[in-house]
Structure 1
Amino acid sequence: MKTIVICSGGLDSVSLAHKVAAEHELALLVSFDYGQRHRKELDFAAACARRLGVPHQVIDLTEVGRHLTGSALTDDVEVPDGHYAEETMKTTVVPNRNAIMLAIAFGIAAAHKAEAVATAVHGGDHFIYPDCRPGFINAFQAMQNHALEGYADVRLYAPYVNVSKADIVADGAKHDTPFAETWSCYKGGSRHCGRCGTCVERREAFHLAGVADPTDYEDPDFWVEATGAFVAEEVK
C-alpha cells in the first residue's frame, strides 16, 4: 500500500513512519508549518525522512494558522503543565487542525497516486481533541470518498486510533524507531520540559510499555506527580 505519512516529528508520527516503512510502501512524509509555537519538531520530521530515504514536504499554513487563534500552541498563551486528561489541556486545541491537514494530504495523495494517508492519532487524544476520535476518522473517510469519487481511491490509515500511547511506544520499539530522534515537548526548549501534557504523556507511555526512555527531560520526575494526581481523582 503506497502511503503518505503526516509527520510532525513527534514520537507518534515518527513511530508510524517506521511502521509504514516496514509494513507498506512509504512514499512521502508531509509536515505542516501552521505557525506553531516552535518549528523544532519539523527538523525531526526531516531527519526521519532522510533516515527512511523518502522525500519530505513541509506545507506552509502560517497564514491559515494566524486565524486559528486562542491555542497555547499558536498564541502567546501559557502552555499548561500536567496530565492530558485535565481540563486545562483544552488550551492546546488548534481548531480543525487535523481536518485541514488531512484534506491537504489527501489531495497530495491523489496527485501522487498514493493509496493511503497515514495519521498517528491515538486513544489518548480522544479526551481533548475531537478531530482525533474514531467518529471523526470514519466521517472524514466518508467525506473523502465523495470528494475524490471517480478520480482516486485513498484510504485514511489510522492504526493507532483505538490504542494508547504506550502501545505506540511498544510498536515503535518493534520497528526500531529511534525515540531519541523525536520531539514532543510543546515548550520547544533545548530539552524536553518534562512538565507539559505531552511530556507527561510521553514519559508515562515509556513506563507503561516497559521500554527505556532515552528522552532528556528538565524535570524527569514530574510525571509521577501528574499521573498520580489524575489516578487519585479517577478513584474518587
Structure 2
Amino acid sequence: MFDCLVVLSGGLDSTVLLIDSISRYPKVAAVSFDYGSKHNGCELPLAKSTCARLGVDHKIIHLPFINALFSSTLLASGEDIPNGAYDEPTMKSTVVPFRNGIMLSIAAGYAESIGAAKVLLGSHAGDHFIYPDCRPEFNLAFAEAVKLGTDAKVVIEFPYSMLDKRDIGDLGRRLDVDFLATWTCYKGEDIHCGTCGACNERKYALRKNQGMDPTVYRN
C-alpha cells in the first residue's frame, strides 16, 4: 500500500515533486515512461538513480507505440527540436498528442493495483499555453474521469498547476534538490544544449542570470 504514486520523468519538475511528496507522505512510489522521446535516455537513468538513492519503489513502463505512431519533434522519430524561447510558437511542434492522458490512464490503473490513493503529476502553469493536456480544464476533467473510473479509489492531483517553473526551482532549492540529478534539454545530447526552449526555461527556473544554476550548457 502506498500513499501516492508520482509520475517521474527524471526532469526538474517531477524530481522536485517526488522529493516534496516524500516530505509529505510516509509511503511514496514512482512510475516513469519510456515513450521514445529524444531525451528519455538522459532522463530515465536519473529517475532510476534518484529513486534508488531515496529508497522509492520505481517502475519504468515502455510505450514504444508512441514513438512509432505519433508525430512530434520531441520523439526520436521526429524532426529536430527547435531553438528559442519556451513559448507556444517555438514549442508547439514538441507536443506529443495526448501524452499526459495516456500516461495518467496507465498510472491510475497501476496506482489502483498497488493501493496508491493518489497519482501526482508535476505539470505547471508555464505549460498551459503550449500543451493541451496540461491545462486546468483538462486536469479537472481527467481527475473526474479517474475518480469515476476507479470508484474513487484513486484521485489525480496536479500540485504545481498554478506555479511557474521558477516557483518550482525555488521550492526545489528549499528542499535541497540536487539539480544536477535532473535533466531538461529536449535534444538529448551528452550535455544540455542551452538553446532549446526547454533549456531556456530551465535557466529561468534555476535563476542562471543570478549565478544560481549549476547546470553545464553547451551554449
1:126-137 correspondence to structure 2 within 5 Å? 126-137=128-139
C-alpha separation in 2, matches of 1:176 and 1:22: 12
C-alpha deviation, 1:181, in angstroms: 0.6
1:58-69 correspondence to structure 2 within 5 Å? 58-69=60-71
C-alpha separation in 1, matches of 2:23 and 2:73: 35
Q: Secondary structure at the match of 2:159?
A: coil
1:102-121 correspondence to structure 2 within 5 Å? 102-121=104-123
Comparing 113-122 with 201-210, greater Cα deviation is found at: 201-210
1:160 corresponds to 2:160 = yes
C-alpha deviation, 1:26, in angstroms: 4.1
Partner of 1:222: none
Q: Secondary structure at the match of 1:214?
A: coil
Runs of 4+ in 1 over 2 A off after TM superposition: 208-211
C-alpha separation in 1, matches of 2:88 and 2:144: 32
C-alpha separation in 1, matches of 2:170 and 2:12: 11
Deviation digits for residues 1-45 of structure 1, max 9, x if unmatched?
A: 801100000000000000001112342110001111242210011
Comparing 173-182 with 95-104, greater Cα deviation is found at: 173-182
1:32-47 correspondence to structure 2 within 5 Å? 32-38=33-39, 39-47=41-49
Q: Secondary structure at the match of 1:81?
A: coil
C-alpha separation in 2, matches of 1:182 and 1:28: 18
Q: Secondary structure at the match of 1:204?
A: helix
Contact persistence 1:28–1:55 (CA under 8 A): yes
C-alpha separation in 2, matches of 1:165 and 1:104: 26
Query: Normalization by structure 2: what TM-score?
Result: 0.94
| RMSD, matched Cα | 1.7
C-alpha separation in 1, matches of 2:20 and 2:148: 28
Comparing 112-121 with 80-89, greater Cα deviation is found at: 80-89
Unaligned runs of 5+ residues in structure 1 are 220-236
C-alpha deviation, 1:77, in angstroms: 0.6
Partner of 2:32: 31
Contact persistence 1:169–1:209 (CA under 8 A): no
1:1-236 correspondence to structure 2 within 5 Å? 2-38=3-39, 39-69=41-71, 71-74=72-75, 75-149=77-151, 152-207=152-207, 212-219=212-219
Larger of the two Rg values belongs to structure: 1
Aligned residue type for 1:180: L
Give identity over the alignment, percent: 43
Query: Normalization by structure 1: what TM-score?
Result: 0.87
C-alpha separation in 2, matches of 1:131 and 1:25: 29
Q: Secondary structure at the match of 1:31?
A: strand
Contact persistence 2:143–2:157 (CA under 8 A): no
